[in-house]
A = this chain, B = another copy of it.
Amino acid sequence: MTIMTPTRLSDGRELLYFDAGEEAAGRHRDPEQVRDRRSLPARGTDAGQVRFDELIGEWVAVAAHRQDRTHLPPEDECPLCPSDGARRTEIPAGYEVAVFENRFPSFGPRHGILPADPGPEVGEVAEPAYGRCEVIAFTDSHTGSFSQLPYDRVRTVVDAWAQRTEALSALPGVQQVFCFENRGAEIGVTLHHPHGQIYAYPYVPPRSVRMAKQARRHFLRSGGLESQTAAILAAERADGSRMVLEGRHFSAYVPFAARWPLEVHLVPHRQAADLAGLHGEERDELAELYPELLRRFDALYDSPTPYIAAWHQAPVDAELRPAGHLHLQLTSPRRAAGKLKYLAGSEAAMGAFINDTVPEETAARLREAATA
Interface residues of A (CB under 8 A from B): 51-64, 66-67, 106, 119-124, 176, 178, 180-182, 187-189, 197, 199, 201, 205-208, 210-211, 213-215, 217-218, 221, 228-229, 231-232, 234-235, 239, 255-259, 308, 310, 312, 329, 331, 340-346, 348-356, 358-359
B345 A343 Cβ-Cβ under 8 A: no
30 A–B contacts from the bound complex (CB under 8 Å): A51-B257, A54-B232, A55-B228, A55-B255, A56-B211, A57-B213, A59-B257, A59-B352, A60-B259, A60-B355, A61-B353, A62-B258, A120-B214, A120-B215, A120-B228, A121-B218, A122-B231, A124-B235, A178-B346, A178-B349, A178-B350, A182-B344, A188-B340, A205-B346, A205-B350, A205-B352, A207-B349, A207-B350, A207-B351, A308-B349
Give Cα A342 to B176, complex, Å. Answer: 22
**A214-B55 contact given A207-B349, A344-B187, CB 8 Å threshold:** yes
Provide the bound-state CA to CA distance between A332 and B352, in Å. Answer: 18
State the copy count for this chain: 2
Across the interface, do A210 and B51 meet the contact criterion of CB distance under 8 Å?
Answer: no
- Which listed residue, B122, B232, B351, B355, touches A206 by the CB 8 Å rule? B351
| Known contacts A121-B218, A123-B235, then 18 further A-B pairs from the complex at CB < 8 Å, ordered by chain A residue | A54-B257, A55-B255, A56-B210, A59-B257, A62-B257, A63-B354, A63-B355, A63-B356, A119-B217, A120-B217, A122-B231, A178-B349, A178-B350, A180-B345, A188-B341, A188-B342, A188-B344, A206-B351
In the bound complex, CA of A180 to CA of B348 (Å) = 11
Cβ–Cβ contact B349 & A329, under 8 A: yes
Q: A205-B350, A308-B345, A350-B207 are in contact. Are A51 and B256 (CB under 8 A)?
A: yes
